[in-house]
Structure 1
Amino acid sequence: MPNIALELGKQAASFGVKSAYGEPQDVDGVSITPVALTLSGFAGGNAEGGEGGTGGGIAVPLGVYVRREEGLRFEPNIVTLLVVAAPFVWIAGRALSRVIRALKK
């Protein structure tokens, strides 16, 4: 029986760039390459002769690289941008209100 941890390690070596950048697609003469933030993790073990392993991952679409005649341009995914920006704006607003409150004293 193969060692599961070694097999997962061999497969994980090929994730990297291949999982973050998708295959370029041609749509109406425009080349589009999807970009994502990817995270993955694996674990394996051997408990008294029994072997086991698990793995998981997540991919968040960041946007696409669009190649036209004018050149290459990155177009962000608006939904992801809003999801990331909302907590940032909330935290920045709270910090600013505390700074203003401290300066008034």
Structure 2
Amino acid sequence: MTEALSSLAETFKNVGVSRAYGPAVTVDGEELIPVALVSFGFGGGGNSGPGPAGAAAGAGEGPAAGGGGGGFVLPLGVYCRGGDGQVSFRPNTIAVLAGLVPLVCAVGYSVRGVLRTLRRR
């Protein structure tokens, strides 16, 4: 189990700002730096004891371990520097709207709850 955790830690060692901002590229005379929302997660567990008394044959005999992980990347847009040297952010409209859906839903449910409470008084 220790080896697996060490391997996993080594894999995710470089997760951070370097994953959220991509390398600069030049397109039509503009320098572009891609920006993304990056999220990773992983977990694991183990059991070194015997299984429950009523377990099926072969189940829970000896030590067991497992783990898993996953992640996602949401491209938010690019920072661009034009020929005049001004830096601006150009959002990826579809990705930003998709990222705002949970926030809009939460606000909607909250407003609905407040309005129902006020109506009962």
- Asked whether the two chains share a fold, i.e. TM above 0.5, the reply is yes
Cα offset, 1:80, TM superposition: 1.9
Over the aligned positions, Cα root-mean-square deviation in angstroms equals: 3.2
Structure 2 unaligned regions, length at least 5: 49-62
Aligned to 2:75: 61
Stretches (4+) displaced over 3 A:
44-53, 84-94
Query: In structure 2, the residue corresponding to 1:73 is in which secondary structure?
Result: strand
Distance (whole Å) between structure 1 residues aligned to residue 102 and residue 71 of structure 2? 23
CA contact (8 A) 1:24 1:31 kept: yes
Cα offset, 1:20, TM superposition: 0.6
Structure number with higher strand proportion: 1
The answer as to 2:93 corresponding to 1:78 is yes
Cα offset, 1:46, TM superposition: 4.9
Distance (whole Å) between structure 2 residues aligned to residue 70 and residue 46 of structure 1? 55
Structure number with higher helix proportion: 1
Larger Rg: 2
Structure 1 unaligned regions, length at least 5: none
Calculate the TM-score normalised by the size of structure 2. Answer: 0.64
| CA offsets 1:48-83 (integer angstroms, 9 cap, x no match) | 555544221101111100011241111111102222
Equivalenced residues, count: 103
